[in-house]
Chains A and B, each alone.
Chain A
Amino acid sequence: MNLLWLIPAAPLLGFLILFLSQGRLSKPVVAVVGAGSVTVAAVLTFMVGLGFTQSGESAYSQHLWTWIDVGGFSPAIILYLDGLSLVMIGVITGVGALIHIYAAGYMIDESDYSRFFAYMNLFVFAMLMLVLGDNLLVLYLGWEGVGLCSYLLIGYFHEDPANGYAARKAFVVTRIGDTAMALGMFLLFRELGTLEIQSLLQNANATWAGGSPVCTLAALLILGGAVGKSAQLPLQTWLPDAMAGPTPVSALIHAATMVTAGVYLIARLHDLYLLSDFAQFAVAVVGVISLFIASFAALCQSDLKRILAYSTMSQIGYMFLALGVGAWSAAIFHLMTHAFFKALLFLTAGTVIKALHHEQDIFKMGGLYKRMPLAFACMLIGSAALSALPLTSGWFSKDLILLQSWDYAHQGPFFWSIAAAAAFLTSLYSVRMIYIVFFGDAKTEAHDQSGIAMNAPLVILATLALVGGMFGFAAVAPVLPDGGIDGGDHYNTLFWVTTAIPLVGIIFGYMLFSGRLSGIASLLESGFALSLKRYFATGWGFDALYDLVLVSPFKKLSVILKPELVDGIYNAVVIVARGFNRYLSNGENGSLRWYAMNMAAGLVLVLLFIVGVL
């Protein structure tokens, strides 16, 4: 366990080597350093995890150094390992290493190979600090660090201004959430006198037992940070655009790890939410709205990666719902299984996109199931897990969430029914994606360029996506307090209904997309349905709304303010002074008559003054 600090240190070292070499290393060396450092971290994580479970301790912390110590504000760099952070670092380094290996093959043609891996390693380092930090300030360091890397990697192809725009959008939108979170931290520090997470939670339980408006406010501000990072309503708009980054980036950052940081944050601080019923309810509401909106949006996309992006948003919505209804372990469990199957889906999409010469429009694909059998199999497995087909990993975690949301004290069945409807939509858009991409006529010639580096991670992830659910919950269950399922009779029906929904969705989807339901299909081609589709495709118009309400007023006002209105006052002083100057210097004109007249006038004035008239 003493090796804990080496886990984040390994990718940091990789980053430093790649950054300082400034692109002078050859590509194989870059791949070894870049993917190697994360693989080393994964091996270390395995060793540390083994040692930790065998030790039987509930938590282990490693003090590195005191960051700041001023006037009672003394955050220290302490790494804190417990079941929750162990699951997280396992996912980060494990899935991270697979994605790095895949990327070593995927990115091989790029000239700026080294810069890519430098950013990726920095990301893994920051993400590890985020989940290992025992202090909210250290967590915030990782939090902002992953945001920066996300920005850098979305804008990796920086020649295209659109990518730069997407990158800035991601950073700025999440920064709005981060600022709320920072304010929450200020509040917590003022009220509880520390930012160290464990003692903060103890103090919170002692101070706010029975609830308090301050606690609710703090929890809501922290939730602001979480929705920004995890692309939930109302700060979700950056995620679809973030797909401008290379596909391995989407897999690592925008599916498996960073976007789930919000889920981790709330789980880590769950005591605060247990103290505030309202804040926890807000988490559930955010989750359920996000998952509903995002699954409709996913159904209407034509860009393969954007389908997956909206799908991610919707799956994280499930995690938020789980957190909100108090199914803490289920949320983390779904986080883990989602990391497996969504990373798999993104990487498979990457293989397909690369084979089609960077074509991302699904309507220009088609007929790929024979040409790319591995990709087809992987996409099938990934989608099955995503739709929660029985015995896949997604089924274990998602059913747990659905069942527990039924029991939620505030309108549980209502939450359940929305989540169940979205589960139906999930299987529907999965079928649509597979049907359009892999069946029908081939519209673009495919050249499969995937080597072993790209295929091996796919196979491993596919295995995890299939069986990861069976052993996974054992790892997650003891981490967080959980009501669990009480095993009442009503679960029997509920269980079968919940399990059947995706199956119905798949059958319906298959019949619809293969043209067997012509009635419904023609209904979907009507004018109203089409405009509704367009509306959903834009992600329910949030971009346009924010543009209208925030972005364009911001830009317009900046143009108005640019000439510095304050300067007018100072310039007025200058103008007045110049005027006097002109008046007085005009007086000095060498004309004798003018001088005589002025002397006389002055004399009269002085006399009048003396006499007392003035």
Chain B
Amino acid sequence: MLLTLILCLLCGGFIAWLVGLFKPDMARWVSLVVLSLAGFLVADIWLGGLLPNGVIEGQAGLWYNIVNLTWIPRFGISLLLAVDGLSLMLIALTVFLGIVAVVSSWSQVDYRHGFFQFNILWTLAGVVGVFSALDLFLFFVFWEVMLIPMYFLIAIWGHEDRAYASMKFFLFTQVSGLLLLVSILVLAFVHYDSSGVLSFSYFDLLNTSMSSDLAFWLMLGFFVAFVVKLPGVPLHTWLPDAHTQAPTAGSVILAGILLKTGAYGLIRFVVPLFPEAAMEFRWPAMLLGAISVVYGGYLAYAQTDFKRLVAYSSISHMGFVLLGVFAWNAIALQGAVMQMVAHGFSTAALFMLAGALQERLHTRDLDQMGGIWMQAPRMGAVALFFIVASLGMPGLGNFVGEFMVLIGIFSVDVPLTVAAALGLVVAAVYGLSLMQRAFQGQRKVEGDVADFGARELSVMLVMMLALVYLGVYPQPLFDMAAPVVQHLLGGAAL
């Protein structure tokens, strides 16, 4: 089933490309159909429930679906795909935000439609692969599959500074990818040395014995690779450029999903594979998280470009995830998971909004906006909702995530909690200033600004409902992640 899901996206990409060659306008419909199909597949896995006995020993009641096929037996590489509650919810988010991305760029692409959709679908396929691969080599393959189409999305359909931004994005991710590859290879060889079996399987590598020095450096390799993606300060500078220059669909996927692969990697690999080393590195990692929260929020305030502001706010919000992961207690970890999902919705919506404004006003410069509420009240109301969500209003999902991270880390480190809590104040400053500069005050744009139509509004409404649901009744999500969190905490007690 998982393989079908990934193949569905990969093949769908080719079909969209082909269709686009003959009927450009049809390509986006192909994407929609493919993503809906993928949505059904995800729903099917979800509704199928947990596997009664885990294929992997001692892990009953954890996995929803497992695929295990031999691939390159000589090197111990297999097609090992599996999803637990955590990966499944992230995959569901991926498919949903894929649809949002396609809808948001419905009328914004004016050349090479087929190839555009191809890249979107391939990136998504890569992300789904990353969230489900449990063979580390396979994981790396998908890691690359998701990045290269994203590079194309920015480089071909990006805005004025796309060459610089896409190259920067590519270099940062490639260098960190190289670090990841080296770490994976060394880990596999160390495991081979100690056990005589060459394997890239996550389950085999879990309890590899190695010297604590080596474990530390390998952990650092994984950590840096994932923190670049997250991104954490000071490895974040690719993100504002990439997000700002990417086409709307690219920004939605980047912020909504790609960043989560970094967080997922931390949760899935860094701590379980190197528990002692991660414990040793706990405080610096949390410090980076707290710095990201405050610094990202502060720089968001300094921006005058709508998309850049939202991009920096992502850095701030993902800092909470970094904090939550390394606090490594159930409350903080569940908070981090919640933050990932909620941030996926809120930031995707804000980028979609930025894209919609750019399509209408041909600028992202906040100094040239103002008073748009009067011309497009529905847009204003939607913007208000998501800004309020992202500044952590109780009753919406982001609050639950951030509050739980904070209450979870308070028992671990008080000064860092205080620092991160300042992020709440800063979020109010930049969020409301965004609202003011774009939508309130005097009208600066002459003429009419087309308000949201049914297509955009319906997507926004779904995301609003999702955030309200996560905010007032988040328990189903926690229940879904609970076995995973329990298992992780039991296996790797920081």
Chain A positions near chain B (C-beta within 8 angstroms): 19, 22-23, 65-73, 137, 140-141, 144-145, 148, 151, 155, 158-161, 164-165, 167-168, 171-172, 175-176, 178-179, 182-183, 185-187, 189-190, 557-559, 561-562, 564, 566-567, 569-570
- In chain B between 281 and 320, which residues have their CB closer than 8 angstroms to a CB of chain A? 298-299, 301-303
What is the distance, in angstroms, from A289's C-beta to the closest C-beta of chain B? 24
Determine if A168 and B433 form an interchain contact, defined as CB atoms under 8 angstroms apart: yes
Name the A residues within 8 Å of B421 (CB-CB): 179, 182-183
Chain B window 448-489, contacts with chain A (Cβ cutoff 8 Å), 1 for yes, 0 for no: 000000000000000000000000111100100010000000
Name the A residues within 8 Å of B371 (CB-CB): 159
Name the A residues within 8 Å of B472 (CB-CB): 67
Name the A residues within 8 Å of B377 (CB-CB): 22-23
- In chain B between 387 and 427, which residues have their CB closer than 8 angstroms to a CB of chain A? 388, 393-395, 399-400, 403-404, 406-407, 410-411, 417-418, 421-422, 424-425
Determine if A172 and B302 form an interchain contact, defined as CB atoms under 8 angstroms apart: no
Given contacts A22-B378, A164-B441, A179-B424, contact A140 B394 (CB under 8 A): yes
Determine if A168 and B374 form an interchain contact, defined as CB atoms under 8 angstroms apart: no
Chain B positions near chain A (C-beta within 8 angstroms): 233-234, 236-237, 240, 298-299, 301-303, 329-331, 334, 371, 373-374, 377-378, 381, 388, 393-395, 399-400, 403-404, 406-407, 410-411, 417-418, 421-422, 424-425, 428-429, 432-433, 436, 439-443, 472-475, 478, 482
Q: List 17 A-B contacts (CB under 8 A).
A: A22-B378, A23-B377, A68-B404, A68-B475, A69-B475, A70-B478, A140-B394, A148-B388, A158-B439, A159-B371, A159-B442, A172-B425, A172-B429, A178-B424, A182-B406, A183-B418, A564-B237
Name the A residues within 8 Å of B418 (CB-CB): 183
Name the A residues within 8 Å of B393 (CB-CB): 144-145, 148
Determine if A186 and B406 form an interchain contact, defined as CB atoms under 8 angstroms apart: yes
What is the distance, in angstroms, from A66's C-beta to the closest C-beta of chain B? 7
CA distance A562 to B418 in the complex (A): 24
Determine if A151 and B478 form an interchain contact, defined as CB atoms under 8 angstroms apart: no
Determine if B432 and A189 form an interchain contact, defined as CB atoms under 8 angstroms apart: no
Determine if B440 and A155 form an interchain contact, defined as CB atoms under 8 angstroms apart: yes
CA distance A67 to B422 in the complex (A): 25
Determine if B404 and A70 form an interchain contact, defined as CB atoms under 8 angstroms apart: yes
What is the distance, in angstroms, from B347's C-beta to the closest C-beta of chain A? 20
* Chain B, residue nearest A564 (CB): B237
Given contacts A155-B440, A183-B418, contact A70 B331 (CB under 8 A): yes
CA distance A117 to B233 in the complex (A): 43
Determine if B237 and A186 form an interchain contact, defined as CB atoms under 8 angstroms apart: no
Name the B residues within 8 Å of A68 (CB-CB): 400, 404, 474-475, 478
Determine if B404 and A145 form an interchain contact, defined as CB atoms under 8 angstroms apart: no
CA distance A176 to B424 in the complex (A): 9
Given contacts A68-B478, A73-B404, A171-B432, contact A164 B440 (CB under 8 A): yes
What is the distance, in angstroms, from A183's C-beta to the closest C-beta of chain B? 6
CA distance A314 to B407 in the complex (A): 35
The listed residue (A165, A183, A558, A567) touching B237 by CB distance below 8 A is A567
* Chain A, residue nearest B461 (CB): A20
Name the A residues within 8 Å of B432 (CB-CB): 151, 167-168, 171-172
Name the B residues within 8 Å of A72 (CB-CB): 330-331
What is the distance, in angstroms, from A23's C-beta to the closest C-beta of chain B? 7
Given contacts A158-B441, A558-B302, contact A172 B428 (CB under 8 A): yes
CA distance A376 to B195 in the complex (A): 93
Q: In the complex, which of the residues B381, B393, B433, B440 has the most CB atoms of chain A within 10 Å of its own CB atom?
A: B440
Determine if A176 and B406 form an interchain contact, defined as CB atoms under 8 angstroms apart: no
The listed residue (B378, B425, B443, B475) touching A175 by CB distance below 8 A is B425
CA distance A151 to B429 in the complex (A): 12
CA distance A73 to B429 in the complex (A): 29
Name the B residues within 8 Å of A168 (CB-CB): 429, 432-433, 436
CA distance A175 to B421 in the complex (A): 11
Given contacts A23-B377, A71-B331, A562-B302, contact A161 B403 (CB under 8 A): no
The listed residue (A23, A155, A178, A183) touching B417 by CB distance below 8 A is A183
Name the A residues within 8 Å of B436 (CB-CB): 161, 164-165, 168
The listed residue (B302, B329, B334, B442) touching A561 by CB distance below 8 A is B302
What is the distance, in angstroms, from A442's C-beta to the closest C-beta of chain B? 34
What is the distance, in angstroms, from A387's C-beta to the closest C-beta of chain B? 37
* Chain B, residue nearest A569 (CB): B234
What is the distance, in angstroms, from B300's C-beta to the closest C-beta of chain A? 10
Determine if A570 and B237 form an interchain contact, defined as CB atoms under 8 angstroms apart: yes
Q: In the complex, which of the residues B400, B403, B443 has the most CB atoms of chain A within 10 Å of its own CB atom?
A: B403
* Chain A, residue nearest B374 (CB): A159
Name the A residues within 8 Å of B442 (CB-CB): 159, 161
CA distance A567 to B234 in the complex (A): 9
Name the A residues within 8 Å of B475 (CB-CB): 66-69
Determine if A171 and B428 form an interchain contact, defined as CB atoms under 8 angstroms apart: yes
Name the A residues within 8 Å of B482 (CB-CB): 70
What is the distance, in angstroms, from B456's C-beta to the closest C-beta of chain A? 15
4 nearest CB pairs, A to B = A71-B330, A141-B394, A558-B302, A186-B410
Determine if A145 and B410 form an interchain contact, defined as CB atoms under 8 angstroms apart: no
Determine if B473 and A65 form an interchain contact, defined as CB atoms under 8 angstroms apart: yes
Determine if A187 and B302 form an interchain contact, defined as CB atoms under 8 angstroms apart: no
CA distance A587 to B6 in the complex (A): 48
6 A-B pairs besides A144-B393, A161-B436, A558-B298 with CB distance below 8 A are: A23-B377, A65-B473, A71-B329, A159-B374, A168-B429, A187-B410
Q: In the complex, which of the residues B334, B378, B436 has the most CB atoms of chain A within 10 Å of its own CB atom?
A: B436
What is the distance, in angstroms, from B388's C-beta to the closest C-beta of chain A? 6
What is the distance, in angstroms, from B42's C-beta to the closest C-beta of chain A? 24
Name the A residues within 8 Å of B403 (CB-CB): 137, 182
Name the B residues within 8 Å of A67 (CB-CB): 472-475
Determine if A558 and B301 form an interchain contact, defined as CB atoms under 8 angstroms apart: yes
Name the B residues within 8 Å of A567 (CB-CB): 237
CA distance A491 to B262 in the complex (A): 70
Name the B residues within 8 Å of A566 (CB-CB): 233-234, 236-237
CA distance A160 to B482 in the complex (A): 49
Name the B residues within 8 Å of A140 (CB-CB): 394
Name the B residues within 8 Å of A151 (CB-CB): 432
Name the B residues within 8 Å of A70 (CB-CB): 330-331, 334, 404, 478, 482
Name the B residues within 8 Å of A23 (CB-CB): 377
CA distance A569 to B237 in the complex (A): 11
Given contacts A186-B410, A562-B302, A566-B237, contact A145 B395 (CB under 8 A): yes
Given contacts A67-B472, A151-B432, A566-B237, contact A561 B299 (CB under 8 A): yes
What is the distance, in angstroms, from A244's C-beta to the closest C-beta of chain B? 12
Name the B residues within 8 Å of A569 (CB-CB): 234
Determine if A562 and B425 form an interchain contact, defined as CB atoms under 8 angstroms apart: no
What is the distance, in angstroms, from B297's C-beta to the closest C-beta of chain A? 11
Q: In the complex, which of the residues A140, A151, A158, A190 has the most CB atoms of chain B within 10 Å of its own CB atom?
A: A158
CA distance A514 to B375 in the complex (A): 52
Name the A residues within 8 Å of B301 (CB-CB): 558
Name the B residues within 8 Å of A66 (CB-CB): 475
Name the A residues within 8 Å of B299 (CB-CB): 558, 561-562, 564
What is the distance, in angstroms, from B317's C-beta to the closest C-beta of chain A? 16
CA distance A67 to B404 in the complex (A): 12
Name the A residues within 8 Å of B236 (CB-CB): 566
What is the distance, in angstroms, from A218's C-beta to the closest C-beta of chain B? 12
Determine if A176 and B425 form an interchain contact, defined as CB atoms under 8 angstroms apart: yes
What is the distance, in angstroms, from A548's C-beta to the closest C-beta of chain B? 18
Determine if B425 and A186 form an interchain contact, defined as CB atoms under 8 angstroms apart: no
* Chain A, residue nearest B295 (CB): A561
CA distance A421 to B429 in the complex (A): 38
The listed residue (A69, A144, A183, A557) touching B478 by CB distance below 8 A is A69
Name the B residues within 8 Å of A73 (CB-CB): 331, 404, 407
